[in-house]
Amino acid sequence: MEKINYAKGLEGVIAGESEICKVEGEVGRLNYRGYSVEDLAAHSNFEEVTYLLLFEKLPAFSELADFTASIRKARSLNPEVLEMVRNFPKGAHPMELLQSVISYLSGYVAHRIRHSATCNCRRTLHQVAQIATVVAAWQRLQEGKDPVVPRDDLSHGANFLYMVKGHVPEEDEGRIMDQCLVLHAEHGFNVSTFTARVVASSLSTCYCSISAAMGSLYGSLHGGANEKVMEMVEAIGDPAHAEKWVLEALDRKQKVMGMGHRVYKAKDPRARVIEGYLDTLSRKKNDFRYLRILKEVERVFRARMEEKGKPIYPNVDFFSGAVYRLLGIPTILFTPIFAMARVSGWLAHVLEQRKDNRLFRPKSLYVGPDPRDYVPLGER
């Protein structure tokens, strides 16, 4: 048989057009609908960025007020969903729970806004609101505590910290949490966003599409890298050990987590901003261990790679785990936090897919057995 070439993993293949986000890896730039993530992290908040992603523009004052109120009103879980959270097996991962809850929520949405190419997902913002509530409730139950009822006078990030920890966070910590959500809200056609678009292309509901995307984010090749960075930090233990650890890892050709990115050939702009948060929190808590270990890993790693003529920079996952740790968040919530943020991007992509939809149906190359006769059970 003649060898047919194709792009494995669809690498380099254009799967669609998008107006949502522009990643310029060569120069280390990331814009959401034209606005740089640095500007958005500095001046905006997660609710406004969600509006921007879904409505394609920054909201006017009253638009933002209405939108924010509608999301905050939707934060509480209904009793059946809370029951699912309570019943979820101990030791299982909250990403599995999130995937399950999101499609369950689909059942609570009126039929008329399902299955339509023009269905307005903007009215189904329970998802954006409730993912945070589910994650926090799950964590509280793990600790043998009661879930905390959400408040509607806190930002999305601050309310999340409140629900996890049971007390209102200091203002700067709530703001940093919220800004981290801004920085993770969108990043083009990664595998989870692509999943959401593929499911949406069948004209399934936006809940079913987002639920499916959760499944991809749970995959160890997608979410979870910042967890592994923190494992590395724990393994190094002390800034003085970092150089030896990194050089040995490089000698063993072991991957150094959080360094390098398929797209960015300059420093990931999100990493720059999050490094600033880590600096702020380290000063505030007078705990410089994570920051010093990470900076030392970066210094040694980059120096070695530059010697080889391969400049490699930290990516978004390099500093974020340490920020979450200093905010008092358990490691198992890192990927669910990613989901809390990225749901806004996913929804924007679902809407965009529907605006000019074509069912995703690629071809496969058959490489299996030739036709053969069925052999009855007794003759095998």
CB of 246 to a second copy, least distance (A): 26
In whole angstroms, how close is the CB of 23 to a second copy at the nearest point? 8
**Of 58-66, 127-135, 310-318, 325-333: span binding a second copy (CB under 8 A):** 58-66
Question: Residue 283 is encoded by which pair of tokens?
Answer: 């000063």
Among 122, 175, 222, 265, binds a second copy (CB under 8 A): 222
Q: 156, 261, 268, 349: which one is catalytic? A: 261
User: Among residue numbers 126 through 185, which ones bind a second copy (CB under 8 A)?
Assistant: none
Q: Tell me the DSSP string of 166-194.
A: SSPPPHHHHHHHHHHHHHTS--SS-HHHH
Please tell me which residue in 93, 222, 279, 287 is annotated as part of the active site: 222
- Which one of 317, 349, 356, 373 is the catalytic residue? 317
Quote the least distance from Cβ 48 to a second copy, whole Å. Answer: 8
Q: What is the C-alpha separation between 373 and 376, in angstroms, rounded?
A: 10
Alpha-carbon radius of gyration of the chain: 22
Out of 43, 145, 244, 255, the residue judged to bind a second copy by CB under 8 A: 43
279 to 318: interface string for a second copy, x by CB under 8 A:
----------------------------------------
State the nearest-atom distance from the C-beta of 185 to a second copy, in Å: 15
Q: Which of 134, 177, 208, 273 binds a second copy (CB under 8 A)?
A: 208
Closest distance to a second copy from the beta carbon of 325 (Å): 22
Interaction of residue 11 with a second copy, rule CB under 8 A: yes
- For residues 341 and 132, is the Cβ–Cβ distance under 8 A? no
Furthest CA-CA distance within the chain: 77
Binds a second copy (CB under 8 A): choice among 18, 142, 280, 331: 18
Q: Which backbone phi and psi does 72 adopt, to 5 degrees?
A: -65, -35
Among 139, 201, 226, 315, binds a second copy (CB under 8 A): 201
- Closest alpha carbon to 20 in 61, 50, 60, 64: 50
Tell me the one-letter amino acid at 236. Answer: I
- Answer yes or no: are the C-beta atoms of 127 and 101 closer than 8 Å: no
Task: Round to whole Å and give the CA distance between 110 and 62.
Answer: 27
What is the spatial distance between Cα 77 and Cα 90, in angstroms, rounded to a whole number?
Answer: 20
DSSP letter for 231, please.
H
Catalytic residue IDs = 222, 261, 317
